Amino acid sequence: MISELSKDPSGKVRITTPRFVYQNLLKPIYAEFCKQYPNIELEISVSDATVDILQEGFDLGIRFGERVQEGMVAKRLSQPMKEALFASKDYLKMYGEPLTPNDLKQHKLIQYRFISSNQLAPLLLDNDGETLPVDMPHALIVNDTDLMLDAALNGLGIGRIVAPMVQSYFSTEQLIPVLKNYWYPYSPLYLYFHQNTQKAKRVRVLIDYIMKKLA
């Protein structure tokens, strides 16, 4: 252990993360980490599927709180966020803007299918604290967040994704938020790992780095 503490951290560290987390949180910082710790071989696996990090050989994972495995150490990385609904200007010009949840029945949804379970993601709205399930016709079904955004930008229907991922599109008005008062809340994001994993110096420096940069 004394020998480990005296050395520069080295070896492989594997982390799994959803695509939107990589794009919005890890992409701006991972290169700096690699330059700061050149002897660490960082492996980033981008997947929206729920991953058992122990079974699949990962050191760390980033997921929403309700998807973190039991028995893991979890460190909070973000504030709670919401699932945004949005559409392009062209779509809204052609079909009108929904003003109530009931109006969604006259629109088409760009639906999301979970990779791991193969199930369609239910569309849930928040009606003053009450969960309101909504059924909509589908314009397209995707299992990738980039494809979700691309389809919405092309005016195929109403998209749905966590709000931070589309904020820049709202700022430029490439996409327009829809029914914002009804967006459904998500738990915060957490960095999670097995309690023994952090004992390795190569893993601990990545945990500390991510927490410093993101938490």
pLDDT digits (tens, 9 = 90+) for 14-48: 999 998 899 889 999 999 999 999 999 999 999 88
* pLDDT exceeds 60 at position 90: yes
What are the Cα distances from residue 188, in Å, to 68, 87, 107, 158, 185? 11, 25, 30, 24, 9
Q: What percentage of residues in the chain have a pLDDT greater than 90?
A: 74
* pLDDT exceeds 80 at position 2: no
29 in the same domain as 119:
no
What CATH number is given to the structural domain containing 126?
A: 3.40.190.10
Structure confidence at residue 49 (pLDDT): 80
8-state DSSP, 33: H
Give residue 131's pLDDT band: very low, low, confident or very high (50, 70, 90): very high
Q: Within 10 Å of residue 92's Cβ, how many Cβ atoms?
A: 18
* pLDDT exceeds 60 at position 1: no
208 in the same domain as 121:
no
172 in the same domain as 87:
yes
156 in the same domain as 94:
yes
Domains in the chain, number: 2
Strand-pair partners of 44? 15
Q: What is the mean pLDDT of residues 128-149?
A: 94
Instruction: Flag the least confident range among 66-80, 96-110, 150-164, 198-212.
Output: 66-80
104 in the same domain as 53:
no
DSSP E strand boundaries for the chain: 11-17, 40-46, 60-64, 73-76, 81-87, 109-112, 123-127, 130-134, 138-142, 159-162, 176-177, 184-186, 189-193
Structure confidence at residue 5 (pLDDT): 54
pTM for this entry:
0.82
Structure confidence at residue 68 (pLDDT): 74
Structure confidence at residue 160 (pLDDT): 97
Q: Which two tokens stand for residue 132?
A: 């309101």
Structure confidence at residue 174 (pLDDT): 97
Contacts of 128 by beta carbon, 8 Å cutoff, 6+ apart = none
Q: 177 lies in which domain range?
A: 81-186
Mean per-residue pLDDT over the chain, rounded? 92
Give residue 213's pLDDT band: very low, low, confident or very high (50, 70, 90): very high
* pLDDT exceeds 80 at position 7: no
Instruction: Flag the least confident range among 47-56, 107-116, 132-141.
Output: 47-56
72 in the same domain as 20:
yes
- Classified as helix, coil or strand, 207 is helix
* pLDDT exceeds 70 at position 78: yes
Q: Which two tokens stand for residue 22?
A: 């990589």
175 in the same domain as 98:
yes
